Amino acid sequence: MKLSDWVKNFLEFGENEKGWSSETLRGYRSDLLQFVEHLKSNFEFDETSDLSTIAPLHLRSFASELSSHNENISIARKMSALRTFFRYLKRKGVLQKDWLALIPSPKIEKKLPKFLKIEEILELLRATDHSSVSRVRARALIEILYGCGLRVSEASELDCADLKARSGWIRVTGKGNKERFVPLSDLTLEALNRYFDMRPAPVNCDAVFTNFRGTRLTSRSMARILSRAILEAAVLSPEWIDSNRAISPHALRHSFATHLLSAGADLRSIQELLGHSRLSTTQRYTHLNLGEIQDAYLTAHPLSKK
């Protein structure tokens, strides 16, 4: 079987059996095809070449090429995609050894998630407290992202049926098609119902969030809506909101987790609400909490002041 065919099979396996998102599949496809092109260009590796002949030399060459054109975080992502592909080939019996285990990925600095203060969230909500359809939609979107801690991709994929699956809860399909239920507050439900009363009728879809053509709202469109809301909030409250800050929709999810932790919620509950498969992923929010403590110390303690 051709190398490109194995890449295709691998992506189909990820989509159908592992439930990878469209963004993950797009990234894997791009990274693996780049590796295929590298083999063709530098080692005369063609479609009929035996995959078992892939050796550390080929992998080190690819890693070296990446290091000359990419930042560490991009290199680590591409090598991670390659590792996942090689493990798949080994399970299929195509490769006998996983040579990538001998090639380390570059170390990347772990950045703490960016989040908004409670006062900033309130100003965002105030900026979208309006009677126009666009503002009402923005208000409902912010309520969902912050009130339920959803990923922007999860909000984009929400259907009206997910709001009716269990009273007082919202059904969310996360990474790997894992399903979870998150409590739906009265304020969030009120914002959604107000939006439903005003929005154009959806076209051939049951999506919760739609554009003015009645089709499902994309993740990019959601990011633009949030950016406009931030600019409007900055005009209303320049002392709270900095219009130059790069705030992504994901910052609302981080704010959801950070504020829960600050208010005394336990990590295990936050893990379930966020849909994290590992507790270690949720534990990074404890570092944010320590950061808040340090800020309070630097602001208030006499010895911390000049």
Rounded-to-integer distance, Cα 41 and Cα 233, Å: 52
Rounded-to-integer distance, Cα 94 and Cα 215, Å: 43
pLDDT for the residue 293? 61
pLDDT for the residue 295? 66
Asked about 250 being catalytic, the answer comes back as: yes
Domain definitions of the chain by residue range: 3-102, 118-251
pLDDT for the residue 128? 83
Q: Which CATH class is domain 3-102?
A: mainly alpha
Asked about 88 being catalytic, the answer comes back as: no
| 173: three-class secondary structure by DSSP | strand
Asked about 151 being catalytic, the answer comes back as: yes
b/e map of 202-238 (b: 16 or more CB within 10 Å)? beeeebbbbbeeeebbebebbeebbeebbebbbeebe
Confidence of residue 196 (pLDDT cuts 50, 70, 90): very high
Which of these is catalytic: 276, 284, 297, 306?
276
Whether residue 9 is predicted with pLDDT greater than 60 in this model: the reply is: yes
Q: Which of 60-69, 139-148, 254-263 has the lowest mean pLDDT?
A: 60-69
pLDDT for the residue 4? 79
Residues belonging to the chain: 306
- The CATH architecture annotation of domain 118-251 reads Orthogonal Bundle (1.10)
Which of these is catalytic: 139, 199, 250, 254?
250
Would you put residue 168 in left (φ > 0), alpha (ψ -120 to 50) or beta? left
Query: Contact, 281 vs 258, CB < 8 A?
Result: no
DSSP label at 277? S
Q: Tokens at residue 306, please?
A: 């000049």
Q: Tokens at residue 17, please?
A: 């059996």
